[in-house]
A and B are shown apart, each in its own frame.
Chain A
Amino acid sequence: MLQYILRRLFTLIITLVGIMVVTFFISLVVPLDPLASIAGPQAPQETVERLRTLYGFDQPIYVQFGRYMQRLLHADLGTSFQTGRPVLDDIIQYFPATIELATMALIVSIIIGIPLGILSAVYRNSAVDHFSRVLSLIGVSMPVFWLGLVLLLIFYFKLGWFPEPGRLDIMLIEPERITGMLLVDSVIALDFEVFWDALKHIVLPAAVLGLYGLAGIARIVRSSMLDVLSQEYIKTARIKGLNEFLVLTRHALRNALVPAVTVIGLTYGGLLEGSVLTETIFSWPGLGRYLATAFLTLDLNAVVGGTMLVALMFSLVNLVVDLIYAFLNPQITLTAS
């Protein structure tokens, strides 16, 4: 097991270096002169040249790359052209909101997805099964940005059940920043008015993101449940007279959930990427919206830093999922080594 973890950590490091190279490459292929956008269209040539020297764009590529790697190793992601602040500070500010949203979405999709998957496996080809299949199909086929708009139209503009886009009512004061996640911070500060308002604000975006995750989870739980239910030991459990509920929960579900762990982990990574579109629609001040703005304005340092962070998160989530999977299913470790 330890050997497996070390091997995975080693590949993670290689991947990380690769991620840095790819993000550097992204900043190289930009055909527009980023300096022109910083200096403004009317800037005299000499100002642009001075900026070029200042940012080191006049150096040969390998020197630029060396400097870039050196900066990264010191956790220096450069300054955002947009906000004028270090990219790292921006990320630290915006990231908790994204984590909060993605976690809520994941909770939604697990709470609905797992029971739905179990029910559609137990009552195969019943109405529940068909419903779950249609819901999964819609979940993977729905453009998230469109669903977000439709939900906003119905539940905010028409029915008024949920508050305007954003994280918190403008009249409310944010609690002291501890984790950066409003739901957590407000509980710590015992400010339940803020908690309730933040909860109302997160429902719609979490539902939009959650539907996407739900589809994958329900499908995998259904198919692995069907696999497990046809096993001999389930028959044995039934024959010895165990009640059906116990057979399902204690014998079947435990094994069926092992493959689900992988999908749930991958879903979490998928939610991080879905947040770019969802946050744009719900004016959610998270990393996704920050990235979307950075991409549109060609804020290079922010693009590189943000992309790198997302890739890092994505790889870490995958690693954790693999480790949990290996822990739950010892056969994996044996075949890998």
Chain B
Amino acid sequence: MNVTHAIDKNEARRRRWEARRRYLKDSYILWRRNRLMVVGTCIIVFLLLVAAFAPLLATHDSYEQILPDRLLAPSTKHYFGTDGLGRDIYSRVVYGSRVTLTIACLVAAISTPLGLVIGVFAGYVGGAIDEILMRLSDVFLAFPKLILAIAFAAALGPGVENAIVAISVANWPSYARLARAETLGVRNNDYIQVIRSMGASNLRIMVGHITPMCLSSIIVRLSLDMGTIILTAAGLGFLGLGAQPPTPEWGLMVSDGRQFLVDQWWVSTLPGIAILIVVMGFNLMGDGIRDILDPHQRQS
């Protein structure tokens, strides 16, 4: 019997393109409808812009210490005032956005692929390996995240790089659990069987056909976690276990200003407001992304 394809290649490509466009359009409509998410996205875009154009926005050198100008109140010359070493706080907050973004992005770039690989592998292979990997993630989940991150940061020694490693160590297990659960859900689906009967290798099935199915829930989880990651990094900086002076890291700046809290409130409080706003932005966006990627929402 002569097998004819129901539709030819070009037609298939066109339809796929069409579906993809419709998906994006629906996403856009859902995004517009969710006013809080629009606010969140604006905050994040603003943060990205500030980080990108920091040299243009900053009015002073963020490291330069001008001791005669120490602890000046906010004014038109120093928008947020100056700190105990006469550095311009506004410029430091502007440059601090780079530090915060770097930490958040690198933690995401380390912990999600790690969790994804471990989770998909454990779920796909199953058996003893699965059991061992999941017990391992249980152990990590038994620690409160902040405590584990602090412990690793303290053990590795302070510094931004070590803070990134420490937070990633504390974060990967939740992604691994999620990826494993998703993998178990699709592992025995018909389409996987078909691909396998066509001779695809296990590696190919895991990378090409299972991992993509886990991505959307991992993305949702990551976007909900971003705020916590930033708060953890700031907390490490505040405790003196994260970024070290003179890095313009927000948590560290709040801690530096503690001694001037009573008479020079701006030194400590203004960088804290920056943390609050950015974390709020990520939380709003995370909630929104969850709603957009949720199929139930799409139907309505």
A314 at the binding interface (Cβ < 8 Å): yes
Which secondary structure characterizes the binding site on chain A?
Answer: helix
0/1 string, B184-195, CB within 8 A of A gives 1 = 000000000000
B283 and A137 within 8 A (CB): yes
Chain B residues with CB under 8 Å of A149's CB are 254, 258, 261, 268-269, 272
Shortest beta-carbon distance from A308 to chain B in Å: 9
Distance from B10 Cβ to chain A, minimum over Cβ atoms (Å): 47
Q: Please, which residue of chain A has its CB at the minimum distance from the CB of B250?
A: A143
Chain B residues whose C-beta falls within 8 Å of the C-beta of A157 in the assembled complex? 261-262
Contact residue range for chain B? 35 or more
Near A by CB (< 8 A), chain B positions 189-226 give none
Residue B155, interface by CB 8 Å = yes
Number of A interface residues in the complex (CB < 8 A): 48
B contact residues around A22 at 8 Å (CB):
139-140, 143
A143 touches B144 (CB 8 A): no
Whether B279 pairs with A15 at a CB distance below 8 angstroms is: no
Q: For residue A314, which residue of chain B has the nearest CB? A: B144
Chain B proximity mask over A297-316: 1 for CB below 8 Å, otherwise 0: 01000010001001100110
Question: Is there an interface contact between A146 and B269, defined as CB atoms closer than 8 Å?
Answer: yes
Given contacts A143-B254, A143-B275, contact A310 B139 (CB under 8 A): no
Q: Is A170 an interface residue (CB 8 A)?
A: no
User: Which residues from chain B contact A26 at a C-beta distance below 8 Å?
Assistant: 151-152, 155
Task: Tell me if B113 counts as interface (CB < 8 A to partner A).
Answer: no
A269 touches B265 (CB 8 A): no
Q: Is the interface of B mostly helix, strand, loop or mixed?
A: helix
Task: Name, among B142, B153, B265, the residue most crowded by chain A CB atoms within 10 Å (CB to CB).
Answer: B142
Judge if B19 is at the interface, Cβ distance under 8 Å.
Answer: no
Residues of B within 8 A of A144 (CB): 235
Is B156's CB under 8 angstroms from A141's CB? no
Residues of B within 8 A of A152 (CB): 261
A324 contacts partner chain B, Cβ-Cβ < 8 Å: no
Q: Cβ of B98: which chain A residues have Cβ within 8 Å of it?
A: none
A311-B143 contact in complex given A18-B135, A143-B254, C-beta closer than 8 Å: yes
| Complex: A22 Cα to B140 Cα, angstroms | 8
B231 on the A face (CB < 8 A): yes
Which of B22-30, B68-76, B237-245 is near enough to bind chain A? B237-245
Question: A298-B154, A311-B143 are contacts. A277–B239 as well, Cβ < 8 Å?
Answer: yes
**A184 CB–B CB distance under 8 Å:** no
A207, B169: Cα distance in complex, Å: 30
Contact in complex: A145, B235 (CB < 8 Å)? yes
Q: Which B residues form the contact surface with A (CB < 8 A)? A: 135-136, 138-140, 142-148, 150-157, 227, 231, 234-235, 238-241, 251, 254-255, 258, 261-262, 265, 268-269, 272-273, 275-276, 279-280, 283-284
Please name 22 pairs of A and B residues whose Cβ atoms are closer than 8 Å in the assembled complex, sorted by A: A18-B136, A18-B139, A19-B139, A26-B151, A29-B156, A30-B156, A138-B280, A140-B279, A143-B235, A143-B272, A143-B279, A145-B234, A149-B254, A272-B144, A273-B144, A276-B146, A277-B235, A291-B147, A303-B155, A311-B143, A314-B142, A315-B142
